[in-house]
Structure formats: structure tokens, C-alpha cells
A and B are shown apart, each in its own frame.
Chain A
Amino acid sequence: DTAVSQTPKYLVTQMGNDKSIKCEQNLGHDTMYWYKQDSKKFLKIMFSYNNKELIINETVPNRFSPKSPDKAHLNLHINSLELGDSAVYFCASSQEALAIIQETQYFGPGTRLLVL
């Protein structure tokens, strides 16, 4: 029974297209995240939602827009895809509200995006 799931696992698309990645967690966690892992394997935070409210919004292009319909789901929509968007995108979730104590993050399997 997968704790954090993402779809699709692979996404190959042309420049200029719009695409979405979906994430769902069944852990009952309050906080969800989107990370980007580039070719050098650095994991960088993009967004974080706590109980459907945006709490972290890093300096990412406006073409990236997260949406959280409920606290178990956090989707990522990308408009006008560019070559540099090619990377692995990971969704994660954690139990604790960020202001309280340190949280352990549980990661999904990743979505490998390739923009041609």
C-alpha cells in the first residue's frame, strides 16, 4: 500500500506544452511538498502546503503552479514547458505542522520529466 504516490512516473513532452503531475498521500499528514532534483542530484524545495495552505513558495517561474484540493493531494501544473524543466520531480509529505518540531518527510517515487 503506497504511502506517497505520484502520477505519471515518466513524462516526455514537447517544449511549450502544459502538463500536470499528481501526488497523493494516504498517511494522514498535514504537510506536502514538491521538490525538483536536477541532473546533479540536488534536491531543491519548490513549494509546500500545510492543510491546503501555501507556506513555502521558492523562487520558481510563474509557469509552475501548485494546487491542493485537499490535504491528501498536491498537484503541480507546469505551463509552457522549457528544456530546463527536465528533471525528476518528487512529492513528499510530513506529519508535523512546520512551526512545531522537526518533521520527517516521506517521498514519492518521483516523476521523470523530459522536455524535448
Chain B
Amino acid sequence: EDQVTQSPEALRLQEGESSSLNCSYTVSGLRGLFWYRQDPGKGPEFLFTLYSAGEEKEKERLKATLTKKESFLHITAPKPEDSATYLCAVQGLQGFKTIFGAGTRLFVKA
């Protein structure tokens, strides 16, 4: 069964303190791995899609990387406005469901 595990559950950083969020996945053939950002009271907002191991994508202070078993979301010099829940999701080759992890709540203090 496809599964996504994110760690840590919560992460508190000082402004400018770089760190990484982890997404471990088990899937019967990876069709795609997605990162979303969710602000309180809002729907998830798309950040990245990664398709194959070794792929990397960047957007402002965020960089997503992918291996055969996990993905990392690296946050460089975060700002308070980066505070949100970051969701990882995978879609396998079997079926059409997108499976979401529980998310990592990021708090960035000024």
C-alpha cells in the first residue's frame, strides 16, 4: 500500500536558520511526488512536482530534492512568512490516487 511519512511533525526556526523537511515514501512505482504549502484556514497551494530520483526544483528560498525513497524540502534563510504546514504527496503507477502525508508545521520566528 502506498504510504507517505513526513518528519518532523513540527519545526521551529529562527529567521535565517536554514533547515530541511523530510518526506519518506513507499509506492509501487512513482508517477510523481508533490510538495504543497498550506496556510491556516486555507487550501493547500502547489509548490513543486518531482518525477524521478535525482531531480531538484527551486523556488525562492525553497528547494525540493528527490531520491528513490525520500524527498527533502530545504529552506534557506527562512523568513516569518514561510511559516505554514508543508505537505508531501505521492502518486503511484497503480491507480490514480494522490496520497498525502500528515505534513510538517513550520514556525519561523523573527
Contacts A41-B85, A43-B87 given: A105-B96 contact, CB under 8 Å? no
Interchain CB contact under 8 A, A90 and B31: no
State whether A44 and B43 are in contact (beta carbons under 8 Å apart), knowing that A102-B32, A102-B51, A104-B49 are contacts in the complex: no
In the assembled complex, which residues on chain B have CB atoms less than 8 Å from the CB atom of A98?
96
> Given the complex of chains A and B, what is the CA–CA distance between A48 and B44 in angstroms?
17
Task: Tell me, rounded to whole Å, the shortest Cβ–Cβ distance linking B53 to chain A.
Answer: 15
Are A40 and B42 neighbours in the complex by a CB distance under 8 Å?
no
Question: When the two chains form their complex, are residues A45 and B97 in contact, meaning their CB atoms are under 8 A apart?
Answer: yes
Question: Quick check: is A64 within 8 A (CB to CB) of the other chain?
Answer: no
Mark each residue of chain A from 77 to 116: 1 if its CB lies under 8 Å from any CB of chain B, else 0: 0000000000000101000001101111111111000000
Q: Mark B31-59, 1 if CB is under 8 A from A, else 0.
A: 11010100001111110010100000000
> Which of B19-27, B73-81, B98-106 contacts the other chain?
B98-106
B43 touching A45, Cβ below 8 Å = no
- How many residues belonging to B are interface residues under a CB distance threshold of 8 Å? 23
Which A residues are in CB contact (< 8 Å) with B42? 109-110
Query: Nearest CB to that of B99 among chain A residues?
Result: A45
Judging by beta carbons under 8 Å apart, are A44 and B100 in contact?
yes
A102 x B97 contact (CB < 8 A): no
Most buried by A among B36, B89, B91, B100: B100
Contact in complex: B85, A45 (CB < 8 Å):
no
Q: Which residues of B contact A (CB under 8 A)?
A: 31-32, 34, 36, 41-46, 49, 51, 85, 87, 89, 91, 95-98, 100, 102-103
Give the residue of A45, A99, A101, A108 whose beta carbon is less than 8 angstroms from that of B98.
Answer: A45
Question: Given A41-B102, A42-B102, A102-B51, are A90 and B97 also a contact pair (CB < 8 Å)?
Answer: no
A110 touches B43 (CB 8 A): yes
Does A55 reach chain B (CB closer than 8 Å)?
Answer: yes
Which A residue sits closest to B90, measured CB to CB?
A102
Interface presence of A72 (CB below 8 A)? no
